[in-house]
Amino acid sequence: MNSSPVPTTLEQATAAARALPLTVLQGPHAPDRSIGSIGVGFRLGGEETGGQLAIVEHPFPVGALVPPHVHTREDEFSIVTAGTIGFRSGPDEVVLEAGGYIAKPRGELHTMWNAGDTEARMIEIITPAGFEHFFFELAELVAAGPPNPTDLETLATAYGLFIDPTWVPDLMHRYNLNSPFG
């Protein structure tokens, strides 16, 4: 808990100056990178947010399915910005269109897929920051060619991520999706 006194005046509130550097990310952004079935665009990382959160953007091609997985270190909050994206988190399943939001808590198996017939996009807020580095390392593996499953498992384990393919056949069948495993 913070033991600093709570500011009661404008002067007190601004005396400490910025806690974080002013970060401006003007568009257009760098091209998205492939991380397998979807892409990733890096927007803000822990370096810019004092480790509080990271923001990435994910394009979902038609038929894309993210492997069901569990995070052990971070929570994710997603905002659909284009198209239609389906989400399953634990026993709950929902399909969201642009403007829809969803919270995916750590410790709960979840997955996402393009639930429409056009490319979809979402912004992902990750808290605390750090998991954006997983996406960067995964993009590097994918760019070098089809990743070795052992390398993928080692990378996932290093970030406290566990994959469970149990839901994949059902989701592929019901939504006409591509396999997330290539």
Q: Cα separation of 86 and 80, whole Å?
A: 10
Query: 115-138 pLDDT, tens per residue?
Result: 999 999 999 999 999 999 999 999
Q: What value does the mean pLDDT take over residues 167-172? A: 96
Distances (CA, A) of 110 to 15, 124, 162, 165: 43, 14, 11, 11
Q: Nearest-5° angle of CA 77, CA 80, CA 84?
A: 130
pTM value? 0.89
